[in-house]
Amino acid sequence: MSDMIKGVGSKESPLVSDLLDHDSGSVPECLKAEGNYCPESRRVPFSLYYDSNYAALEMEHVWKKCWQYACREEDVPEVGDRYPYEVGSLSFIVLRSAENEFRAFHNSCLHRGTKLCSSISSGDQVRCPFHGWSWNLDGSVREIPGQWDFPHVDESYRLPEVKLARWGGCLFINPDSDAGPLEEALGVLPEHFKNFDLANRFTLAVTQKKIRANWKHTWAAFLEAYHVAETHFDAVDFNGDSNTKYDCYDDGNTVISRLITPAAVPSPGLGDKVTAREAAIAAAQSFANALGPAAQASLPDFDQIPDYGRRHVAAWRRETMQNMLGADASNRCDSEMLDAIQYAMFPNFGPWLGEGLPLMYQFLPSGDNPDESLFTVRLLAPVPDGMPRPPSAPVTQLGFDEFFESLPEWGRIAHVFDQDMSNLPVIQAGMRAAAPERSYMMLGRYQEQRIRLMHEFIDQKIAEGQAS
Ligand code: FES
Ligand SMILES: [Fe+2]
């Protein structure tokens, strides 16, 4: 049964658990851990991806009720710095109100409703661009121009605040004033990330891309590796796509999921066409190409290493981490150095664990339009040992028809993202063209379980909201 549902690993492309057993480092328990939950098989109607009534339900019962990832602390490094967090038609100001204090407010003026913050900006007050009403960083009223005309406006006109909490260097908000603590929503994340210090990392690159597809499509593009063979056909030589391990966790409060796609092994779909050695060499070359000329020059002479394999690539990755970033990775196992280990906390938080691909994702609906979404991806590097935190890279923007490959900071990963992005509008359009009697997804039992989990999560939130 396990072969049937987890893909048949050839001798050269073993399952993740086999790889971890032979890992040359000390493997953290969280990587070996098995999820405790498998979402039910279900038919997911295509209409959930384009129906504006369903999008309105999501806004009301998911986005107004859930803990969600707004930005990183380093996005607002100085007191007074602020970040407009926009989700659908909702908008919040997330700001650093004191050295080690953050607050979030509804992004709307209490005079006549003008949006108060439209871009990443800074200042010792929040000031409306229309008539100049202003507030202090703690939300208290600062100045009402022409106060004589507003005897009915008193000190109670504080900016309405929303819940904000911190984890792993990230700022989360929840518009629901009755919400429980963030910890309830994080589930297994703190336990799984306890040896991978997300807070002590800085942003090397961050990009927000507009996409002509529903936000759930953009999420789903990263919830499974089943698409790799077709979409990323040029990466199968060194990625064990169908070897991917999927785990879902449900603790009664929240659901968390993750996948582990092993790198430096060939896809089982290649049969005997690519050996383990060739896969390891291809992986090393791919990492080096992403890291630039210095890394390329540091690659070994493969001809001298007849048994070149995963452990060699991982060892070289540890060296490049030390030499290029000044970061000690000696305690990281091979899997943490190489593999794609990607977590999901719905509705919008996608942190990666390890140095294989140290990314962080955010998925958001765009305005009231269910056919559009925003995808924010950042590349996080460890703060060099004993050094001050380097400044965060500025956010770059990509429009609907712009490509990651136009942004040099993304190196070779840009090509992979552009492959994923190119699918999305086509999926959105294709769903609307479906025959009425076949207008639902036919999800795989194992590899697409995280997509089922996402839909369970959303539907449960909507059901809870409608029942209350
Ligand atoms: S609308 Fe903001 S000051 Fe008038
Ligand atoms: Fe992909």
Backbone angles phi, psi at 279, to 5 degrees: -65, -40
Contacts of 121 (CB under 8 A, 6+ apart): 81, 82
Backbone angles phi, psi at 261, to 5 degrees: -105, 115
In this structure, are residues 365 and 55 in contact, taking their beta carbons and an 8 Å threshold? yes
My answer on whether 10 and 76 are in the same domain is no
313 CA from centroid of ligand 1 (Å): 58
User: What is the percentage of the chain residues whose pLDDT exceeds 90?
Assistant: 89
My answer on whether 29 and 79 are in the same domain is no
DSSP state of 329: -
pLDDT tens, residue by residue, 295-344: 999 999 999 999 999 999 999 999 999 999 899 999 999 999 999 999 99
Which tokens belong to 64? 């107004």
**What does the alpha-carbon distance between residue 149 and residue 178 come to, in Å, rounded to a whole number?**
35
303 CA from centroid of ligand 2 (Å): 32
**What does the alpha-carbon distance between residue 92 and residue 212 come to, in Å, rounded to a whole number?**
23
My answer on whether 164 and 264 are in the same domain is no
- Closest-CA residue, ligand 1 atom 3, reads 131
| Residue 450 CB-half CA count within 13 A | 29
63 CA from centroid of ligand 1 (Å): 26
**What does the alpha-carbon distance between residue 97 and residue 362 come to, in Å, rounded to a whole number?**
24
pLDDT-derived band of residue 80, with 50, 70 and 90 as boundaries? very high
Residue with tokens 């070149």: 308
CATH number at residue 30: 3.90.380
**What does the alpha-carbon distance between residue 73 and residue 192 come to, in Å, rounded to a whole number?**
21
Domains of the chain: total: 2
- Closest-CA residue, ligand 1 atom 4, reads 131
- Domain termination site, one of 152, 178, 204: 178
Range of the domain at 131: 70-178
DSSP state of 10: -
Residue 269 within a domain = yes
- Domain termination site, one of 121, 146, 178: 178
> Averaged over 153-171, what is the pLDDT?
96
In this structure, are residues 98 and 84 in contact, taking their beta carbons and an 8 Å threshold? no
pLDDT, position 34: 93
Say whether pLDDT at 5 is over 80: no
Residue 55 within a domain = no
My answer on whether 134 and 234 are in the same domain is no
Ligand nearest to the CA of 224: 2
Pocket of ligand 1, candidates 107, 109, 150, 157: which has the most ligand atoms within 8 Å of its Cβ, to mutate? 109
Residue 187 within a domain = no
Ligand nearest to the CA of 108: 1
Residue with tokens 């690993």: 9
Round the average pLDDT of the chain to a whole number and report it: 94
Ligand nearest to the CA of 128: 1
- Domain termination site, one of 178, 213, 236: 178
My answer on whether 330 and 285 are in the same domain is yes
My answer on whether 361 and 459 are in the same domain is yes
CATH number at residue 105: 2.102.10.10
Residue 188 within a domain = no
Question: CB under 6 Å to ligand 1: residues?
Answer: 109, 111-112, 114, 128, 130-133
Residue 233 within a domain = yes
Nearest to 457 by CA among 274, 257, 275: 257
Task: Pick the atom of ligand 1 nearest to 116's CA.
Answer: 2
Contacts of 357 (CB under 8 A, 6+ apart): 340, 342, 413
46 CA from centroid of ligand 1 (Å): 42
